[in-house]
Amino acid sequence: MIDKLAFIEERYEELNRAISDPEVIEKQDEWKELVIEHAEIEEIVNVYRSYSQILKGIKDAEEMLQDKPDPEFREMLEQELEELTPKREELEERLKVLLIPSDPNDKKNVVVEIRGGAGGDEAALFGADLLRMYTRYAERRGWKTEVLSASLTDIGGVKEIFFMIEGQGAYSRLKYESGVHRVQRVPTTESGGRIHTSTATVAVLPEAEDVDIDINASDLRIDVFRASGHGGQSVNTTDSAIRITHLPTGLVVSCQDERSQLKNKDKAMKILSARLLDMAQQEEQAKYAETRKNQVGTGDRSERIRTYNFPQGRVTDHRIGLTLYKLEEFLDGDIDEMIDALITTAQAESLRQQ
């Protein structure tokens, strides 16, 4: 680990010199890439330097103790060692976490898909609750949200919705949300007061960039049709709605939320690109299924990950066994405590596998 950290520190100094070089600054694209790399390793270098200072302090104290100092000086050196040793252990653990290979998608924006599952209208209403939860969470973090495509019920539920969340580290925070979310509550339509169980599925997909996936125009069939609202009433008098079929995979994406055909096509392509990237990554990850089954969630959308229990006011994540008794606040977007616990668990499991 020390050799790797020393190499990173050396690279950090090289980058320091490069990003201050006028000739490099003139080449803006190259300069921006170097600045990003510099920022990515800055925390590791700072922690490593603090760690090195503590190691030096421990070594110096131990060497002075070997010289058999007077009792008063010995006591001072022993006290210093007592203070430095736990700091060394703390920084060692932090460095191990910082050296875990990062997910290349972590810094990306995300496309979130929510679908009502088992439970009919109640499942769709729960889907709307999840939509609000993630929207409020994005607001708390200063992220931007944009609906790409939506199919809603007449009573405000979500049959299916795709929306974009744009913000630094969006995928790194939300990637563990993919899976089946279950709700237990008494529906407003239930006269007998019985608790019903309904589900909604969530898929968090990293936004696909041009370098991530190549879509050939010849592989697409694009159909245009007239957009319609709930119950079939016309909401547009022009053929602005878009349906894109990716012929090799059979994936179909429709978008009719915008009055502009061009805007609908752009949104549909964002959804299609994200889904194709997700398919490619799922296929790659399936090759390592034996390893992935030990991680926090497999990414399988059929996996039940969380239960929202209204009578008890609790939310439980089944992957890590964490229960929070603050359901109302959780559904209002206060989900960082759960996300932090999921990230910490994933990091711990990654360390065990190193």
Q: Where are the beta strands (DSSP E) in the chain?
A: 110-116, 144-152, 158-166, 179-185, 196-206, 220-225, 241-246, 251-255, 304-309, 314-317, 322-324
In this prediction, residue 292 carries a pLDDT of 41
Whole-model pTM: value is 0.69
Q: Report percent pLDDT > 70 for the chain.
A: 88
CATH 3.30.160.20 segments of the chain:
217-284
Its CATH class, for the domain covering 217-284, is alpha beta
DSSP code of residue 227: -
> Which residue do the tokens 């790409």 mark?
148
Band the pLDDT of 68: cuts 50, 70, 90.
confident
Beta bridge partners of 308: 183, 315
Lowest pLDDT segment from 90-99, 112-121, 283-292: 283-292
- Best CA proximity match to 43, nearest among 68, 8, 74, 76: 8
Q: Which amino acid does the sequence have at 176? A: Y
pLDDT > 90 fraction of the chain, expressed in percent and rounded:
44
Per-residue pLDDT, 81: 93
18 or 283, higher pLDDT: 18
Task: Annotate 138-175 with b (16+ C-beta within 10 A) or e (fewer).
Answer: beeeebebeebbbbbbeeebbbbbbbbbebeebbbbbb
| pLDDT number for residue 289 | 47
Residue, of 223 and 142, whose pLDDT is higher: 142
pLDDT of residue 226: 72
Phi then psi for residue 315, to 5 deg, are -130, 130
CATH of 110-211+300-353, one of 3.40.50.880, 3.40.50.720, 3.40.190.10, 3.30.70.1660: 3.30.70.1660
Among 277, 282, 144, 114, residue whose Cα is nearest residue 208: 277
The pLDDT assigned to 112 comes to: 94
| Cα distance between residue 185 and residue 51, in whole Å | 51
Please report which residue ranges of 141-260 form alpha helices under DSSP H.
170-174
How far, in Å, are 4, 24, 47, 133 from residue 17 at the CA level?
Answer: 20, 10, 20, 45
Predicted local distance difference test score (pLDDT) of residue 265: 85
Cα–Cα distance list, 54 to 83, 143, 266 (Å): 10, 39, 54
Helix or strand holding residue 211 (H, E):
none
Vertex 317: Cα angle to 311 and 323 (nearest 5): 55
* pLDDT score recorded for residue 290: 45
Quote the mean pLDDT of the chain: 85
Residues 6 or more apart in contact with residue 82 via CB below 8 angstroms: none
Taking CB atoms within 8 Å and a gap of at least 24, the contacts of 30-35 are none
d(CA 198, CA 55): 55
Within the chain, all domains assigned CATH 3.30.70.1660 are found at 110-211+300-353
pLDDT 10s digits, 331-349: 999 999 999 999 989 888 8
The predicted pLDDT at position 303 comes to 77
